[in-house]
Amino acid sequence: MSSLAMGEVGRAAAQLEGEEKLSGSAQYIADLVRPGLLHGAILQSPHAHARIRGYDVSAARALPGVRAIVTGDDLDASHRMGAFIKDEPAFAKGKVRYVGEIVAAVAADTEAIARAATRLIRVDYDVLPAVLDPESALAPDAPLVHEDAAAYAKVFDAGTSANACSRTDFRTGDIASAWARCDVVVEARYTTQAQAHLSLEPCGALAEIDAAGRITLWSANQSVFRVQACVCESLGLPMTKVRCLTPRVGAGFGNKMEAHVQPAVVLLALKARRAVKLILSREEDFETVRARHPFSIRIKTGAKADGTLVAREMELLLDGGAYGDDSPGVLGYALLMQPGPYRIPHVHGHGRVAYTNKLRFGAFRGFGVPQVTFASETQLDEIAARLAMDPIAVRRKNMLAPGDPWFGGQPIASNGLAECVDTVARESGWEEALAATSTGAAEAHEADPAPAGQRRRRGRGVALSAHISGLLASGAIVRVLEDCSVLLNTGAVDIGQGSNTVLTQICAEALKVPIERVAIASPDTDGSPYNWGTTASRVTYVAGRSVVGAAAEVERKLKEHAGEMLECAPDDLELLPGGKVAIKGVEQRAVTFADISGRAHWAAGGPIIGTHSWVFDQKTFDPKRTAALGLPFSQIGIFSFSALVVEVEVDEATGKVRVLGAWAACDIGRAINPRMATGQIEGAFVQGMGYALFEEMVWDGGRLANPSLMDYKIPTIAELPETLRAYLIESDEPSGPFGAKSVGELGINGVAAAIANAIASATGLRLRRLPMTGERVLRGLLDAGEGRS
Amino acid sequence: MSASIAAAGSPASFVELDVNGQAVAVRASLSTTLLTALRDELHLTAAKRGCNQGVCGACTIRIDGVPMRACLSLAHGCVGSRVATLEGLAADPRMQALQRAFAETGGFQCGFCTPGMLVAAHALLEREADPDEDAIRGALSGNLCRCTGYVKIVAAVLAAASASKGSP
């Protein structure tokens, strides 16, 4: 790895926003106030599918304190937004497509008045038959969620028709003839549920119009640039008219990447000609924002008798909900990642996204990989069991070795997977535990066929997974100011994970200055370089590389000045720690950044500014190797790897599963900030544990039945396993900033699979549906017991 | 004005509260929650509205020393009680030890749950200067965090307790 002058990279620096967050003075969207601020509220659809015949807003308008009301009549039907398919209006226009969809919004002197006014709006609906699951949505003659989805503008070949939102098909090798060469073939169907992101901060936005008619928009977001694009597309505004900023963000797991209430709030502000703030209630946030896709999965895997994997086929059907949002990306990415980090010569993945009359499903940490990994990594354990192999042994036999490409053909430059597996096997005591269970538990099963309900059983499970860091454009601007302090501007929104700190560490290290000398600008579409967003585990890697590039340009300019000042060639100069440029090997012949900056401002060249911008440009698929149809991303990113072992205890009386221990190792290239990196892995594990065991959005017809924290439970500190260890494996990614890859999502991918494998190891029960609630585990145990007797 | 007041519920009146050791007059109707009064009237925004239903704990404040949900407490019901928010506890050495420990161990990420988490942890350390992990889990089980996975929160409270040893 590259040597480090400052020791900023690799240091567990405290988060830069610590003081404000720990004193309670940090400002999130709900904390912002502007002069003359009005408060907004939304009216939601009571129907899953209905045509809107008209609105009567007279009673609402008559309520004192009401300043503006917007309905679909204020929207132009030709203006639609969408990351992949331009299918979504700012809010309901012409018809409603799910219960909870925004139908109208009110701005008033107080939130209470705004909420009261929404209840006075009368909407005349013509109720239509709804499609509530993807299978019925794709049936012939199903009611259409979008009358002519095929005609919508799209950014890739989605194959859209009727309620089929998109389809993707990837093929490597010769799957048809491969099965005959397998000694064992396992095929099964799996079902996964909708998960709520549940960032503690509900979504909201504040829009203000200046005297020139320009709009400033603050919102809970993961990308000021995506907010700008969505608002402008859905309202038909020129992008130059909308400036997007960000307050502190109370976490985002994909839910705040695309638009939520921003278009409605901008429209209210334009109509009221006043600043308007609208914060969703927790229930509204559940019902109107977005959630993790439910997947139906058919998976078939074939292996040789020695455990060598030969073939994998996966077929997916995703419930996309009412709008495309990130669904085509989730489908394509899930299919790209579904073989897992293994050498499988024959792979066929295909799938579809269906429009339904439900809340839109979109990006959520893992982006489809937790779903397919639940299926693929549990199926791998079934193969191991059929072949009487240790689950880790079968994985070691097949896992990608350094130098192996991903199945589509993309080369992989850094691969620390073997060290991840070795680490979790060693730290969890896998071999010892295996030895104990193979004698102890097997005998116990034999000796004790007694009815369930008497005891608790323990088991361990493993899962490997991979993720990418990458995707789309990112820039950085580094300025050396007149006093030689450094301002970094990347446009990347820190959603709480600590990217401001990490990018500042990278900048400080690259310029060899202490971190205190670098400040980071808040993202601003007027002044920041483009950054697609805080998503796809991309900020450390993609924005980090831009920071290194911009700092390199600063270094080049500093050396040009210094060369003239010291009368030598720039190539003979080097940066010294602390903000100096010196003749190589002659430390005393140096000029400071302040000397250079003063010269640049007053005498020559102008301020020292370095910029860099790039797009990940390596092809995901080698067309000679893999055929791809409906590929949403052709250049996706570099690969990170993870291994996870969990230990669970299953209560046979209640079916309740408790996770006792978890050991997660992630190959992240290099840890820029080790404490923040382990924080990502720990947070992802616990979020994945909720997904595996109890989190589930449940619909009663078209209505979400549990849109509250009373009825939708997430893990508390009481569910935290006694042992939760995160290990950082550093494989030194040559293209990464100081060797780094990103870590935001990797840690959630294998959690449900590892827990399912542990439950199977403890009880013999194979659950193929998430979440694995106590009720489902108990039912499974009872059914198995009846089957035996 | 009367119609808008009708729309918003019962008429607002001024109520005198003791917030962070100061007597303050707050405009509040009978249905105004303490959380709304603190955030919207007094601009004490450390306490967060995460669910408005008493589940998430982001609005945890102390009423007569007891950690409570500001979203479930009515402003009029707090007359005669001492209300303390994170802002008002900032001078307390034990709170400062907690804040330092949270910073040093990485016991927060987005920070939205953090004020509530700190107030709940502060109440625990006052009650029990040297809590074990089980006591910490018990005391903080009503405060949700979606970012950290709680590991570093437990570590932070343990570190703060250890740092505060010997202090009153």
Interface ipTM: 0.96
Q: Please report, to the nearest 10 degrees, the dihedral formed by the alpha carbons of residues B39, B45, B48, B49 taken in order.
A: 30
Nearest residue to A412 (alpha-carbon basis) of A620, A565, A613 = A620
A737 vs A475, A615, A726, B83, CA distance in Å?
14, 14, 22, 48
Helix axes A751-763, A774-788, angle to 10 degrees: 30
A498: three-class secondary structure by DSSP: coil
pTM for the predicted model, two decimal places: 0.96
Rounded CA separation B61/B127 (Å):
16
Is B99–A63 a contact, with Cβ atoms under 8 angstroms apart?
Answer: no
Antiparallel, parallel or unpaired: β A38-44 and A276-279: parallel
pLDDT above 90: percentage of residues in chain A:
94
pLDDT value of residue A85? 98
Q: Residues A146-170: what's their mean pLDDT?
A: 96
Under CATH, which number does the domain A295-469+621-788 receive?
3.30.365.10
pLDDT tens across A194-251, in order? 999 999 999 999 999 999 999 999 999 999 999 999 999 999 999 999 999 999 999 9
pLDDT tens across B50-98, in order? 999 999 999 999 999 999 999 999 999 999 999 999 999 999 999 999 9
Q: Which chain B residues are within 8 Å of A25, Cβ to Cβ?
A: 46
CATH topology of domain B90-164: DNA polymerase; domain 1 (1.10.150)
pLDDT value of residue B11? 73
Is B3–A64 a contact, with Cβ atoms under 8 angstroms apart?
Answer: yes
Q: Which chain A residues are within 8 Å of B99, Cβ to Cβ?
A: 22-23
Q: Does B109 contact chain A (CB < 8 Å)?
A: yes
Q: Residue A788, CB half-sphere, CA atoms under 13 Å: how many?
A: 15
Q: Which residues contact B3 (CB under 8 A, 6 or more apart)?
A: A63, A64
Is B53–A282 a contact, with Cβ atoms under 8 angstroms apart?
Answer: yes
Sheet bearing A164-172, strands edge to edge: A184-191, A295-303, A309-321, A346-355, A164-172, A626-629
pLDDT value of residue A445? 39
> Mean pLDDT for chain B?
93
Residue pair A653/A773 in contact by the 8 Å Cβ criterion: no
Under CATH, which number does the domain A32-128+201-250+256-288 receive?
3.90.1170.50
Q: Does B110 contact chain A (CB < 8 Å)?
A: yes
Rounded CA separation A365/A383 (Å):
28
Question: Which of B50, B113, B151 is nearest residue A720 as measured by Cβ atoms?
Answer: B151
Q: Residue A261, CB half-sphere, CA atoms under 13 Å: how many?
A: 35
Is A28–B112 a contact, with Cβ atoms under 8 angstroms apart?
Answer: yes
Is A708–B53 a contact, with Cβ atoms under 8 angstroms apart?
Answer: yes
Question: Which of A201, A282, A710 is nearest residue B112 as measured by Cβ atoms?
Answer: A201
Rounded CA separation B161/B101 (Å):
9
A153 vs A324, A630, A679, CA distance in Å?
12, 15, 40
In chain B, whose CA is at the least distance from the CA of A281?
B51
Is B56–A200 a contact, with Cβ atoms under 8 angstroms apart?
Answer: yes
CA distance B79 to chain A (A): 23
> Mean pLDDT for chain A?
95
Is B150–A15 a contact, with Cβ atoms under 8 angstroms apart?
Answer: no
pLDDT beyond 60 at A760:
yes
pLDDT value of residue A428? 97
* Test mutation, A11, A21, A111, A203, chain B, max B CBs within 10 A: A21
Q: How far is CA B49 from the centre of its chain?
A: 11
Q: How far is CA A48 from the centre of its chain?
A: 27
Is B146–A27 a contact, with Cβ atoms under 8 angstroms apart?
Answer: no
Nearest residue to B149 (alpha-carbon basis) of A459, A193, A641, A662 = A662
pLDDT tens across A330-352, in order? 999 999 999 999 999 999 999 99
Q: Residue B4: which pLDDT band, with cuts at 50, 70 and 90?
A: very low
Rounded CA separation A137/A144 (Å):
8
Nearest residue to A4 (alpha-carbon basis) of A758, A738, A788 = A738
pLDDT tens across A528-548, in order? 999 999 999 999 999 999 999
Rounded CA separation B68/B153 (Å):
20
In chain B, whose CA is at the least distance from the CA of A282?
B51
Is A15–B138 a contact, with Cβ atoms under 8 angstroms apart?
Answer: no
Is A682–B152 a contact, with Cβ atoms under 8 angstroms apart?
Answer: yes
Is B150–A720 a contact, with Cβ atoms under 8 angstroms apart?
Answer: yes
Q: Does B138 contact chain A (CB < 8 Å)?
A: yes
Angle subtended at Cα A256 by Cα A251 and Cα A259, rounded to the nearest 5 degrees: 160
Tokens 């209630």, located at residue: A281
* Test mutation, A11, A20, A21, A22, chain B, max B CBs within 10 A: A22
Q: Residue A616: which pLDDT band, with cuts at 50, 70 and 90?
A: very high
pLDDT tens across A547-577, in order? 999 999 999 999 999 999 999 999 999 999 9
Under CATH, which number does the domain A18-25+472-615 receive?
3.30.365.10
Is A251–B146 a contact, with Cβ atoms under 8 angstroms apart?
Answer: yes
Is B3–A684 a contact, with Cβ atoms under 8 angstroms apart?
Answer: no
Return the number of CB contacts < 8 Å for A and B: 186
Phi, psi of A675 (to 5 degrees): -70, -40
Q: How far is CA B106 from the centre of its chain?
A: 20
Tokens 């996966």, located at residue: A314
Q: Which residues contact A422 (CB under 8 A, 6 or more apart)?
A: none
Question: Which of B4, B109, B136 is nearest residue A109 as measured by Cβ atoms?
Answer: B4
Q: Which chain A residues are within 8 Å of B143, Cβ to Cβ?
A: 716-717
CA distance B166 to chain A (A): 24
Is B145–A717 a contact, with Cβ atoms under 8 angstroms apart?
Answer: yes
Identify residue A166 by its one-letter amino acid code: S
A378: three-class secondary structure by DSSP: helix
Q: Does B78 contact chain A (CB < 8 Å)?
A: no
Is A720–B90 a contact, with Cβ atoms under 8 angstroms apart?
Answer: no
pLDDT tens across A429-459, in order? 998 876 765 544 433 333 344 444 468 999 9
Question: Which of A249, A495, A709 is nearest residue B56 as measured by Cβ atoms?
Answer: A709
Identify residue A460 by its one-letter amino acid code: R
Q: Does B63 contact chain A (CB < 8 Å)?
A: no
Is A251–B109 a contact, with Cβ atoms under 8 angstroms apart?
Answer: yes
Question: What are the boundaries of each domain within chain A?
Answer: 18-25+472-615, 32-128+201-250+256-288, 295-469+621-788
pLDDT value of residue A436? 67
Rounded CA separation A158/A152 (Å):
11
CA distance A532 to chain B (A): 20
Question: Do A18-25+472-615 and A295-469+621-788 fold alike per CATH?
Answer: yes
* C-beta contacts of B3-6 below 8 A and 24+ residues apart: B3/A63, B3/A64, B4/A63, B4/A64, B4/A65, B4/A108, B4/A109, B4/A110, B4/A113
Q: Please report, to the nearest 10 degrees, the dihedral formed by the alpha carbons of residues B102, B103, B108, B111 taken in order.
A: 110
* Test mutation, B49, B146, B148, B152, chain A, max A CBs within 10 A: B146
The number of residues in chain A equals 789
pLDDT value of residue B12? 77
Q: Residues A474-492: what's their mean pLDDT?
A: 96
Is A65–B145 a contact, with Cβ atoms under 8 angstroms apart?
Answer: no
C-beta neighbour count of A726 within 10 angstroms: 24
Nearest residue to A418 (alpha-carbon basis) of A667, A738, A697 = A667
pLDDT value of residue A433? 75
Question: What are the boundaries of each domain within chain B?
Answer: 2-87, 90-164
pLDDT tens across A630-670, in order? 999 899 999 999 999 999 999 999 999 999 999 999 999 99
CATH topology of domain B2-87: Ubiquitin-like (UB roll) (3.10.20)
Rounded CA separation A28/B58 (Å):
13
Q: Does B161 contact chain A (CB < 8 Å)?
A: no
